[in-house]
Amino acid sequence: MHAVEGTLPRIVQGRVWKFGDDISTDLLAPGAYAVAPLEERKRHVLESVNPRFPEEVRPGDIVVAGRNFGCGSSRETAPEGLKALGVGCVVAESFSRLFFRNAIAIGLPVLPCPGVVEAFEEGDPAEVEIAGALVRNLRTGQALWGRKLPPAMLEVLAAGGILPLLKARGQQLSGTT
């Protein structure tokens, strides 16, 4: 299933790509391509950890990772690269604050879920119910509950990001104090 802009799928289904702790924004969006176009940038997402990832990841696939996912810089290109590759959701033991905010701000579903690393192996088929924070391993049948996102963040995700939301709300965009 593919996350279409402006609509948050209720359930994401795909294969699992597994990564370790402290996956940094330098790994997600290497500085060398900082100003390259998105089409080029997305080909380098996580390449130093797993060169197959940017080539073989399919829309809807799920990134499962350890602690402190997305640590490092404020670059929004980190979640943006994953979103551009079609990643349906990132489920991690924990997230770095900036990555977490940025992912939601651009409409990439993220779910903190302690225990997820142990519950999955690379390539497992998985299903994530985003609002319900339910993660299921379709190979083992194991189900885990992540930490539910507050309604305000689900609203941002559902709108496809904070700017689409701002636009949709048609708030007085300019000159407001």
Partner 1 sequence: MGMTLAEKILARAAERREVSAGEFVTARVDFCMIHDIFAATLFDLLESTGIDRLWDPGRVAVVIDHFSPAPSAAVADIHRRIREGIRRFSIAHFYDVGSGICHQLMVEKGHVQPGMLVVATDSHTTTYGALAVAGTGIGTSEMAYVLATGTLWFQVPQTIRCEVSGSLSDGVCWKDVVLSLLGRLGSDFAQYRALEFTGPAIPSLDMSGRLTIANMAVEMGAKFCFFPADEVTARYLRRTRWDGPIAPDVDASYAEVVVLELERLEPLVALPHRVDNVRPVREVEGIPIDQAFIGSCTNGRLEDLEVAARYLSGRRVHPETRLLVAPASRAIYEESLRRGILQILAEAGATILSPGCGPCFGGHLGLLGEGERCIGTHNRNFQGRMGSPRAEIYLASPATVASSALYGRITDPRRVGVAYARS
Q: How far is the CB of 123 from partner 1 (least distance, A)?
A: 24
Q: How far is the CB of 20 from partner 1 (least distance, A)?
A: 11
Specify the residue, 75 or 136, whose C-beta has the smaller distance to partner 1: 75
Q: How far is the CB of 33 from partner 1 (least distance, A)?
A: 10
Binding residue for partner 1, selected from 11, 22, 50, 142, defined by CB under 8 A: 22
User: Is 45 a binder of partner 1 (CB under 8 A)?
Assistant: no
Binding residue for partner 1, selected from 8, 17, 53, 94, defined by CB under 8 A: 94
Binding residue for partner 1, selected from 2, 10, 97, 147, defined by CB under 8 A: 97
Specify the residue, 83 or 136, whose C-beta has the smaller distance to partner 1: 83
Instruction: List the interface residues with partner 1, window 146-175 (CB under 8 A).
Output: 150, 152, 161-163, 166-167, 171, 173-175
Q: What is the 3-state secondary structure (H, E, C) of the chain?
A: CCCCCCCCCCEEEEEEEECCCCCEHHHHCCHHHCCCCHHHHHHHCCCCCCCHHHHHCCCCCEEEECCCECECCCCCHHHHHHHHCCCCEEEECCECHHHHHHHHHHCCCEEECCCHHHHCCCCCEEEEECCCCEEEECCCCCEEECCCCCHHHHHHHHHCCHHHHHHHHCCCCCCCC
User: Is 82 a binder of partner 1 (CB under 8 A)?
Assistant: no
